[in-house]
A and B are shown apart, each in its own frame.
Chain A
C-alpha cells in the first residue's frame, strides 16, 4: 500500500448460504484504488463484482451475506469496523455509488430536482435558493440539456442515458473522493455509453476523484481504465495496467476472454471460445477454479489454489504454470 492509496481491499471474503453448503461469492479478493485513478474490475456475470463493490459501502444485507474475512481501508479508516452512523456519513459524502439500473435506483414519485436536492442536503445545510442553483449546476455538469426544466421532471420522463446522467449528478453532489460505478452503461446504447464514459473522463480532468468502474465489457475497460483487475470465480486472477492486460495478458482466462472477442478484423477466422461455463460459487472446483476450462492445466492445478505471480511493474497473474514457462 502506497501513500497514494485511497481505497484498499485486502483478502475480502463474502459468503452466502446456499442450500446445504455455502456460496463463496467473494473468496479472498484484494485490490486498491489510488488517488485520481480509474480502476476497472472486470469479469463475467456471477464472478463476484457486485458483491465486492457493495461490501465497500457495507450494502450487502447481513444476513444472508456473511463477511467471512478481510479488511477494507479507505483513507486510513477501516470500513468494516466503522459504526453504522459513521458509515452513513461516509456514503455519498466521500464514496458514492452509481448502479446499472438507474430507473430502479431513482424514486418514481419524486422529481429529479427533489432527488438531487436530497442528495445534496443530506450532507450539507444550504438554503432553498442555493440548493436550486446547485442542482442546476450539477445537471449542467453532467451534460443534461435544459437542466432548469429537467428538475421538474419525473424519472420515467427521461431516457435511459439521461437517467444515468441524473444518477451521476447525484453521485457528484457532495464531491466524493471515490465513485463506485457498477455496470453503469450496460443497459445503454453504444452511442449513449460513449457519452457517459466521456463524461466520467471529463469530470476527472476537472477535479480530483477516483473511479472504481465495474464492467464485463473489455472494450469499455480499454477505453477508460488506468489499471485493471480481472476476476474469476470470486478471486482476482490478473492485475496490471491497460497495456499489460490487453497486450501481455499472462493468465489463461484473460487470454481466453481477449481471444473470444469478435471483431471485423477476425472475419473468416474461427473465434476462440473458452470451453465450459463459469462454476457455481457453491460448487467451485478444487485447486485452480479455472482448471476445468484451462488449456494449460496440469495435475497440480487440480490440487492447489494458485498463488499470485509477480511479473514486475505491478503486473500480477494467478497462474504459476504459465509463470514458470514465461521465458521459454
Chain B
C-alpha cells in the first residue's frame, strides 16, 4: 500500500514533467528547434499566477486561465519577434536563442525588487484536503495535477485530430514546403504552437506552485522534462506524457528505496538505458517521408 502511495506521488510529478515535455515536443515538431526555455516558461507561468492571485486577488480557479492566456500571448510574441527573424539559420542558432530567452526570463524575474529573489508560498484553496480511497490517502493537490493533465492531453489530442488548425499544424510538421503551397499560414501557426506550449507551461507552473513554492529557479525542472521527451521519442505527443510519467515514477521509487542522491540521477540513467535499447525512443518512428 505504501508502494501505491509512492506511485501516486510519482505519477503526479510525472504529469508535470509530461506537460513540460509536451511543450518541447510541440515546438520541436513545428519548427525543428528544441526550446530550452521551456522550463523558464513554466517559471514565468507560476509567477504570472502568483501575480494574478496576490496583486489582483483573483481566486485560484480564475488564476489558471488568466495565466494560460498571459503566457500564451508571451509565447506567441516570443516566436514572432525573437525566433522568426533567425528562421532558416542552422538549428544550432535557434537553440542558442532559446537558451538566451531562458536566461533573460530568469534574469528579468530576479530583477523585480522584493519579489524576484524570494521564495513564495502559493497556496491552493484545497491545499490540505485529501481524498481517502480505503487505506489510500491522495492529496488534493496531487489529484488536481493528475486530473488537469489528463483533461489537457485530451483537449490537445482533440485539437490535433479534429480541428482544421490542428491538422494544419501536423501538416506543417510533416512537410513545411507543401504547407506553404497549400496556402496554410505557416508562420502564424508556428507562433500559435509556441502560444500553446507556453500556455501548457503556465498550467504546469500554476499546478506545481502549491507543491514546490514559486521561485526564480523553478524552471530547472525543465532539465528533467527533457529526458521525458527523449524517452518518448521527441516527436510523439503521447510519448511525451508517457515519458514524463516514467521519469516521475522512477524518481519516486528511487527516492523511496534507494539511498539519498539516487533520486536526481535516476531519470538520466533511465534515458541512457532507453537510448541504448531504443535509439528512437518509445514512440519514435524511424519512418521518414518517402523520397
Q: Do these two chains interact?
A: no
